[in-house]
Structure formats: C-alpha cells, structure tokens
Homo-oligomer: A and B are copies of this chain.
C-alpha cells in the first residue's frame, strides 16, 4: 500500500498550505505587504513557504494547493515555480482559516472524491523532516478511517502562546500505532495551567495541522457551519461564483468551525508529533532557531563579520547590508530594514505587536 511508511509520495494525499498571517510580532521584517511566510527566517536560503513546500513534496509530489490573499498571489507564484497554475487559490479578501482551508478541500473533493487533505501553515519551522513525514503517514491512515486528524506537538515547556490538544485513549487504526482520540482543544493557558497540562502527559501543542478526507471535512462543516460549507461547495462547482459567494462566507477559524465541535462528537484523532516545531511567533523565538554566529550573537540576512560586538549579545536581522555595532547591550534585538529600524530585547519581543498597533493608529500603515 502506498500509505505505508516509506519514501514514496502518498497516493491521493493533497497538501493544503494556507499562506496567510502578517507575522506582526516580526515587524519590521515581516509586513502586511511582505508577510512572514515569504521570508527566509532560518538562513537556509529558502523562505518559510518554500521550506513548507520542500517538506511536503516527498509526501505529496505536486499535489499541493496554496491558498493565499490576492495581494500575495504573484509573490507566492514566484517563490513556488513548481506549483501548478490551478493549485494557487487566491482569496479575494481575508475570511479566516475555515474558508481558506475549506475552499481548498472543496476544490480537491471535486477533483478526487477520495482525496485526503493535509493542511500545514506556510510560516512554521519544522526540524526532523523524517519524523514529521512518519507522523503524516500515520495521520493519513487515520484520516482514511474517517477521522479529522491533527498532529499535536510534544511540548518541551509550558508555553503560554499556543493552544493545547488533550488526548484520550489509543485508537487502534491500522498503520497508525500512535494515534489517540482527542478529548478537547483548549485555548492558550496561563503558565500555571500550562504546567498542569504538561504534568498529566495528555496535552500537546496545537500547531494547526489537520489531515482529513476532503469529503469528511466538508460533510462535518455542513453539519456545524452549513452556510459556509454550502458556499464553499458552490464555489468549487463553479469557480466563476467566487467573487459573488466569497464575501458571504462565515468568518471563523477552522478550530472553532470544525476541530472543536468534531472533538466533542468523538471525530478527532491526534498523532503525537515528536519532531521539532516552532511557529516563529516573535524575535525571541527566531533567535532560538538561529545558530550562534559568533560569541552569543545570532544573525539573519547579514554576515556575522558585519556586526561588531562589544560586551553584547542578541539577534541582528538586517536587510540593508550596513555595519551594525552593538556596545554594552545583552540580549538585544536589532531589526534593520530600509525604512524602519526596531531595537528591543528578547524579553520584550512579544510586545512588538503593540508598536505596529501604534503605527497603524497614527496612520503610518505604509510601514506596517
């Protein structure tokens, strides 16, 4: 069977890559006009979107659909020249993740009634591609059995920035020895709650990874969000109706529209993800992903020799080619772009969003 562990693409598997999200806490590197997924944040030479493609190609070949906003269609096409023309779906306007992923599923359901869709964000970093692939292969086996399958990341610390998935008992699905039922999805906890979650051993991070038969996704959506499901299937049946129907679709995240109610109905499974994962949510997270260039300095977009350190440590991101000198600053974050410069610390990296909010409030949206 082609869905046994191995290295061949999985027949009937279609990857869906929702490429959205501005990455506001990575300002001024990431902008609404040039969002996080278009950037190489690891120094690999590949953007996060391209790395996502690279990771999925061994599993899906070119059975990949990217859903992005109309403003980013050209940039996505340029970064992914292998992407078939009809596999790039551009949303006329943002309608949240249930519409984005649901549209891809509806299109694929018509193309292949047995299609299994696997949705992975375009702007996350994964370390351990083999272990990731093994998880996806198990998830596909469980999806074929009719479940909505998520891959829940094994927590390494009581993170407060992610939602959690509470697992139940083993599922006993052939080809998926690690599959567990899902009891519930929970929102981002405070630190004490997160620590309590970890102590039980039942909780994994919700990384927004879903594997499910396209028809199951649409049928469940038809039960929970009937207007949305009908609209999506109408667009898939007649793509010319996109401009007319899209603006009427319910704005809702796929977790709320599908995963949470399906979990209550016992329809959701989880494969514990034993690979490294990071959503690169802010510069502290980014610094943690990058290797030390010299001493305690991490660099992105510039050469370590173009950064002069004296009693300093931290992260320098520069797209200007300038020399950057740091003197007497520990754990500093410097993000140097042609029109905007951010100086902060790792400890305050989460608050970059507030700076962007201030820019928006003051009308300087050209910088956001």
A348 lies within 8 A of B322 (CB): no
Interface size on A, residues (CB 8 A): 35
Complex contacts, A326 vs chain B, CB 8 Å: 343-344
Q: Does A340 contact B (CB under 8 A)?
A: yes
Complex contacts, A347 vs chain B, CB 8 Å: 328
Partner of A308, one of B329, B334, B355: B355
Q: Does A341 contact B (CB under 8 A)?
A: yes
- Assembled-state Cα–Cα distance A287/B107 (Å): 62
With known contacts A310-B351, A327-B355, A351-B328, A341–B364 Cβ distance under 8 A = no
As a 0/1 sequence over residues 309 to 349 of chain A, the CB contacts with chain B under 8 angstroms (1 = contact) are 01100000000001111111100101010111111110110
- Summarize A's interface: helix, strand, loop or mixed: mixed
A175 to chain B, nearest CB (A): 49
Partner of A352, one of B327, B334, B344: B327
B343 lies within 8 A of A327 (CB): yes
As a 0/1 sequence over residues 11 to 50 of chain A, the CB contacts with chain B under 8 angstroms (1 = contact) are 0000000000000000010000000000000000000000
A325 lies within 8 A of B340 (CB): yes
16 extra interface residue pairs, beta carbon distance < 8 Å, beyond A324-B340, A325-B344, A329-B329: A305-B362, A310-B354, A310-B355, A322-B338, A322-B339, A323-B340, A323-B341, A323-B359, A324-B343, A325-B341, A325-B342, A325-B355, A326-B343, A326-B344, A328-B345, A332-B343
Copies of this protein chain in the complex:
2
A94 to chain B, nearest CB (A): 25
- Assembled-state Cα–Cα distance A60/B310 (Å): 46
Complex contacts, A308 vs chain B, CB 8 Å: 355, 358-359
- Assembled-state Cα–Cα distance A328/B323 (Å): 23
A136 to chain B, nearest CB (A): 38
Q: Does A367 contact B (CB under 8 A)?
A: yes
- Assembled-state Cα–Cα distance A327/B325 (Å): 18
Complex contacts, A354 vs chain B, CB 8 Å: 310, 327
A356 to chain B, nearest CB (A): 9
With known contacts A322-B338, A338-B322, A364-B323, A329–B343 Cβ distance under 8 A = yes
